[in-house]
Structure 1
């Protein structure tokens, strides 16, 4: 499965900023429930009189389905189709992760938080973003984030397709070898966590 990014903007004459947020609260809540949507960034440019958004979806099919729905919604708001600019792009998660791109998983994923002691953080990240990425992808990972902890300790948040995918990853023989290559000095300590919500601030 390849993540898909939807970019869309259209002619808009306001309101902007907090006023737009007040008007669009219910719409935002509705969009948050869209199948396959991981997140949306709302964009606006009063100077050019355009507004829109950048969305991350699980795949192109979900992005295309939403775009069709959103075009109809904009038409109902009086926006001409000729005033809408939209495109769907594939996402490269390996490079996006290295540049802190928000390519984590959806809210209904099975999520684990691991504490890992490592010999060297740079070596760990290099392997995590290459051989580790391949191993996680093969076992159903939907995205990962790495955080620095105490000296020589990292915390890894990973979204999985389901709990079975995580169990298969944890017990796979090649995974232990990959962790060793990354400089893990002890077995990671995993715990499952449940995402209760995501907020703008």
Structure 2
């Protein structure tokens, strides 16, 4: 197998596994499922990946490396205001919930719940994916500058935005109702409005 063929096989396996893990979960997806989806033989798969967990690692690396291209850039297209970028990102999740008829689940959140006793390598990759998401929000908060209170813990707020998203997605999927997601986002918007108002009342220093 040439390097180009190997890369092509690897990409096909990762894309197929990503779809299957999303639809069925990691534990319910078999190597046979991946082979059926890719129309590859077992020898080709095992030439690239020694086992299913290695496929999972590659999927998590794809999410880690592609967060900007595959999520942030799409959500933030045409949105320049850093605060509005946060809510545009959440709007992207609202759209995915509705488009999938409320079956959408955050891929990283779903895997984290399913693999609660994950191998350290897998757990670290799950954590990195959460961290990258929160850091993208943190960058928006930093870009907002003095529009937000100076004493605001921006890291904690970014993590709170992540928690709002994950919890809202989970409830919307469970209840088959996007309103559960939207109510959480509305409460978050109220919190941001209060923070913006508090910063605006800050007395000017002569």
Shorter-chain TM-score category? Answer: 0.3 to 0.5
State the TM-score, normalizing by the size of structure 1: 0.32
**Which structure has the highest strand share of the two?**
1
Structure with the larger RCO, 1 or 2 (CA within 8 Å, 6+ apart)? 1
